[in-house]
Amino acid sequence: MTLIKTQIGRRAFIKNTSLAGGGLVLGFSFFNACKPKVAEAVAMELEMPEEWYEMNGYLKIGDNGVVTIMSPNPEIGQNVRTSMPMIVADELEIDWKNVVVEQAPLNTNLYSWQVAGGSRSISSSWQNLRMAGATARHMLKEAAAQAWQVPASEITAIAGVLSHEASGNSAGYGEMASAAAQIEVPEEVELKERSEFSIIGTSRKNVDGKNIVTGKPLFGIDVQREGMLIASLVHPPAFGKRLKSFDAEEAKQIPGIRDVFSIKLYDDDFDKMAFHFTAFNEVVVVVGETTWQVFQAKKALNIEWEDAPDTTQNLTLFGNAMEVKHPAGMENSDSHTAQLKELIARNAKVARRDGNPEQAFRGADKIIERSYSCPFLAHNTMEPMNFFANVTEDHAELLGPTQTPEWMEPAVAERLGLPLEKVDIQMTRQGGGFGRRLYGHFMVEVAAISQRMKAPVKLMYTREDDMSQGIYRPSYYATYRAALDADNNLIGFHVKAGGIPESPLFANRFPAGAIDNYLAEDFTVDTNITTGAFRAPRSNFIAGAEQSFLDELAEVMGKDPIDFRLELLKRAEENPVGSPESNDYDASRYAGVLELVREKSNWEQNEAGVSRGVSAYFCHQSYVAQVLDIVMEGDTPVVQKVTAAIDCGIVINPDAASNLSEGGAVDGIGHAMYSGLTFKDGTPEQTNFDRYRLIRHSEAPKAIETHFVKSDVDPTGMGEPPFPPIMGALANALYKATGRRYYHQPFIMDRPPLIG
């Protein structure tokens, strides 16, 4: 085992020794204000203890040895409610069958990172989760040592049982919990060696699985409270419009309607984080007794809108100030395309320059140039935006699906005029996130509505509400150029990328560092259409463009696509261009997934009738390589199989990790092939699934096979990395299958709407 200092623990690990009957309680704060919910016995096929010893941290122990482990982060389908407790349980050395999992409350003093974003849930909490379990194990062993008058070093803890071989003594954790609560928190604690893990690295079923398949209430949209009212919003019909006036008399005549009013979400001087962003700051609210009544009343409103002026918003993102400009006017997709094409031809901001790329291109024997684009995308979570609030004069209770509870809590408190400690945000399981629920304006909306109505309220968006008011994946455009000499050697590489309203460029990612003469430039276009994070932000476009271009370049150079990438990576590893720290990827790990996917996909075996494409990418500190197989059924390409090789460090739960790999592949194929959001006069032309095309079950790969690199590296991202590269593998396979290259997403645009 490895000793690790508990400096965090000396200040943050606590013991609660005041509980009747004793019991071990560990947490990460001095604060004792947050009392977790008692686990529901129906969720576990366990005999519940007669008494739970409550805790304000990661775990609590029952008198019968059952352990409740808190999962601190939002659950959006990535299965952290299973994986995070697995880490604690392994270091605690408890049998998984005796574990109860609870969703932790929001408490930023108690937990280090309660955000579902950036694929950081596991990686950011890895050390703290391990320390929580290991410290509890240490204190239980010390308690047993004192009870049996033997050295603690001679006591073993296995599967929730403490044993001393020489004396023959043994006891379950529940028997020692009270005494363990009196033990001094250690200055340092032993963490297991990687080889000693017994739960980490093994597949465990989703702890919510039974409740999901049996339809138990889990999601925010399921919330029901006595006396609860339903609210819904009406926002401007187009970007570039704002509320002028409204007449609600007809709507108020509908039975069950309690009130109709407008609210302004944020004051003009509110200090906004980027995740406080909202498409429309002033909206009309309808409140009633049932969802149907409220939705009907929205249709009866007579609202007048007016043109919005140019605006500028000052935001902060992780402490960095940023200015976001929203020009006046109603925008169109056709003009967006023209803007991007015009700007790609102009000089842009240089993000990285190695060598003398201009000279390389002037002296080139051959220049390959290709451009790529993608449209705006809507997140389209299966569960539309919703949230519950019950605001009284001195307290606010909020409950629902959010990826950023800790970042939205200050916004709610300020909007309500309440101290932060009077705002209590609880998390439900989420029916999809993908970045949409990073932006929690709907939480502020429902809190303001509840405060005005002096009643508990559940806010409900329709699908059309969500799709027509953002927040969208930006539209991007990129041009790649390669300079070849007379012997077909790559002597220069140039990428210029931009977007509305951000650039997708990562100037220091592969193939930067592998080419002597390299130039990366970017540009941006201001817009009043609200955009934001979408699964694997920016990478979700640039990976496919880059990997498509590298594939085409390899063909021109007469090289195998995998061999070509490996040659570049070898250069980056052995003799990198520029300082090694300027390249933000590990070339050996990057090459490792390419080698693994070549082996597992049997890349060299060319099966008749099967067209194959390969792609590899690095993001969120993880490496993914994918081979995609297509067969043609008439004129229709059918994805037969995806083979993936992934290096994400230590894999906590192989089942969950494989699910993320599979979901990322299906999601990426669907968006690249079919999805797109277009605008006419500031209005989205697709507002539901009849016209916004998502992948169908029959179009998903027939098989997906995932292989993980065996690693001792601490866990890195897994929720997002499998998503971006599959788009390049798809484009490359389509080329082999159809004989033409695919540069502009969506690749298939001739599908009619489901409803005429």
Residue 112, token pair as written in the block: 């280090």
Whole-model pTM: value is: 0.94
732-735 CB contacts, 8 Å cutoff, 24+ apart = 732/547, 732/548, 732/551, 732/561, 732/613, 732/614, 732/615, 732/628, 733/611, 733/612, 733/613, 733/628, 733/629, 733/630, 733/637, 733/639, 734/611, 734/613, 734/630, 734/637, 735/551, 735/552, 735/613
In whole angstroms, give the CA distance from residue 365 to residue 69: 64
What is the pLDDT, as a whole number, of residue 5?
A: 60
Q: Which residues, given as ranges, of the chain have pLDDT below 50?
A: 7-25, 27-44, 53-56, 756
What is the pLDDT, as a whole number, of residue 108?
A: 77
What is the pLDDT, as a whole number, of residue 258?
A: 98
What is the pLDDT, as a whole number, of residue 649?
A: 98
In whole angstroms, give the CA distance from residue 273 to residue 277: 7
Beta bridge partners of 372: 478
What is the pLDDT, as a whole number, of residue 6?
A: 58
Peptide bond into 155 cis (omega under 30): no
What is the pLDDT, as a whole number, of residue 23?
A: 43
Single out the residue of 224, 275, 221, 218 nearest to residue 77, CA to CA.
Answer: 218
In one-letter notation, the amino acid at residue 353 is R
In one-letter notation, the amino acid at residue 695 is I
Torsion of CA 84, 60, 101, 1, to 10 degrees: 30
What is the pLDDT, as a whole number, of residue 526?
A: 96
In whole angstroms, give the CA distance from residue 544 to residue 565: 15
In whole angstroms, give the CA distance from residue 661 to residue 625: 11
What is the pLDDT, as a whole number, of residue 498?
A: 97
Q: Are 463 and 384 within 8 A, CB to CB? A: yes
